[in-house]
Amino acid sequence: MSKTALTVVPPGSTIGMLGNGQLGRMTALAAANLGYRVHVFGPDQDSPCAQVAATETLAAFDDWAALEAFARSVDVVTLEWENIPTATIDFLAARVPTVPGSAVLAVAQDRVAEKTFANNLGIGTAPFRAVNDVESLRAAVAELGTPSILKSTRMGYDGKGQVRLAPDSDLAAAWESLRTDAAVLEGFVTFACEVSVIVARRSDGVMAAFPVVENRHAKGILDETVVPAAVTPAVAEEATRIARALTEALGVVGLLAVEMFVTPDGRVLVNEMAPRPHNSGHWTMDFCATSQFEQLVRAVCGLPLGATDILAPCMMKNLIGDDVDQWHALLAEPGARLHLYGKAEARPGRKMGHVNRPR
């Protein structure tokens, strides 16, 4: 549980951002609002973040010469993608404050490590077994039963790298389809709803949690976030306690988003966590006293954390693929707040923007 003196990186400084997607873009916009410059580092041409950042390095995460120059040009480094190689984070951390650190990423990059970490703190998850081949998959299915979900341990997101198993599933085919040698079998959780909590933490240990929100998924991708979540005060308190406990135990500096299942009998189980801004926090841009992106800047720069009060009950809807074609009607809708990410091509399943609305 790392806790250090607070180093303040004042406005006018340059924040280095690893990863150049929409989360980096919205962080860069919030940073600019507080007088910071953002230098984005990532491998993608014409990226959502590079379009709004002050400076860009277009390079791979193992381009050490580019990373060396990047480290010299920034005052603090953070990230918008938890799968940045830990070697990259360690290289930068030896040269410039880099948060969250590689120990946090090592846990967040691996579904087995993530669930083990939570369980070791007494926090519940779906029952799970690590699986490395068809034989260990058969053994795990014999123990956990079906329905269950087979997920690749690393690099899974938005329902990718997952197979649902039913009693009659062909296990050999399911294993082949994942194309991995490290997976996890999870028992299927019958949930009443899915919720998430985002916690900000500074290097001196000061934390602030955003309110509990409800997430509705479609085809494994977040579709809508409803704010606040319609859960009992006891469930909200427990979800917040869990998210804060994980943030503190991991020693996160920046943000930690924790996705959880709420069971019909009111238990709260951790599904996943991500040490970065999260899609379920996009509502904060228009309906919270402080946006998650500004809060990230505040946390990594050692500024006072902002208030997290809900300004009005609201809803966030993702615009996936050609949903984005509705932009004209959404702009005409009273009260709707449209955010587009500047992506040229609206491929199916691609997050193109979102809309926040009062409800």
Select from 126, 131, 67, 138 the least CA-distant residue to 268.
126
**Paired residues of 214 in beta bridges:** 195, 226
Q: Shortest gap between Cβ of 149 and ligand AMP (angstroms)?
A: 5
Kindly determine how many residues on this chain lie close enough to bind ligand AMP according to the rule CB under 6 A: 13
Nearest CB to ligand AMP, comparing residues 272 and 286: 272
For the segment 43-62, give every residue that binds ligand AMP (CB under 6 A).
Answer: none
Q: Does 224 interact with ligand AMP (rule: CB under 6 A)? A: no
Cis check for the bond before 43: say yes or no (omega within 30 of 0).
no
Assess contact for 186 and 161: CB atoms under 8 A: no
Nearest CB to ligand AMP, comparing residues 85 and 220: 220
Nearest CB to ligand AMP, comparing residues 194 and 294: 194
The CA radius of gyration of the chain, in Å to the nearest whole number, is 20
Among 203, 271, 279, 280, binds ligand AMP (CB under 6 A): 271
Stretch that binds ligand AMP, among 84-92, 167-175, 182-190, 320-328 (CB under 6 A): 182-190
SS (H, E, C) 61-90: CCCHHHHHHHHHHCCEEEECCCCCCHHHHH
For the segment 183-222, give every residue that binds ligand AMP (CB under 6 A).
Answer: 186, 188-189, 194, 217, 220
Return d(Cα 254, Cα 359) in angstroms, integer.
Answer: 30
51 φψ region: left (φ > 0), alpha (ψ -120 to 50), beta (else): alpha
Return d(Cα 105, Cα 324) in angstroms, integer.
Answer: 32
Nearest CB to ligand AMP, comparing residues 92 and 198: 198
Assess contact for 160 and 219: CB atoms under 8 A: no
Burial class (CB in 10 A: 0-12, 13-18, 19+), 268: buried
Pairing relationship of beta strands 268-274 and 221-227 according to DSSP bridges? unpaired
Nearest CB to ligand AMP, comparing residues 9 and 213: 213
Return d(Cα 121, Cα 131) in angstroms, integer.
Answer: 23
Among 43, 85, 124, 159, binds ligand AMP (CB under 6 A): 159
Q: Shortest gap between Cβ of 269 and ligand AMP (angstroms)?
A: 9
Nearest CB to ligand AMP, comparing residues 82 and 259: 259
Q: Does 127 interact with ligand AMP (rule: CB under 6 A)? A: no
Among 156, 251, 254, 353, binds ligand AMP (CB under 6 A): 156
For the segment 288-347, give every residue that binds ligand AMP (CB under 6 A).
Answer: none
Nearest CB to ligand AMP, comparing residues 220 and 228: 220
Q: Shortest gap between Cβ of 231 and ligand AMP (angstroms)?
A: 16
Q: Does 113 interact with ligand AMP (rule: CB under 6 A)? A: no
Q: Shortest gap between Cβ of 358 and ligand AMP (angstroms)?
A: 25
Q: Shortest gap between Cβ of 142 and ligand AMP (angstroms)?
A: 17
Q: What torsion, rounded to 10 degrees, do the Cα atoms 186, 187, 191, 195 define?
A: -20
Interface residues with ligand AMP (CB under 6 A)? 126, 149, 156, 159, 186, 188-189, 194, 217, 220, 259, 271-272
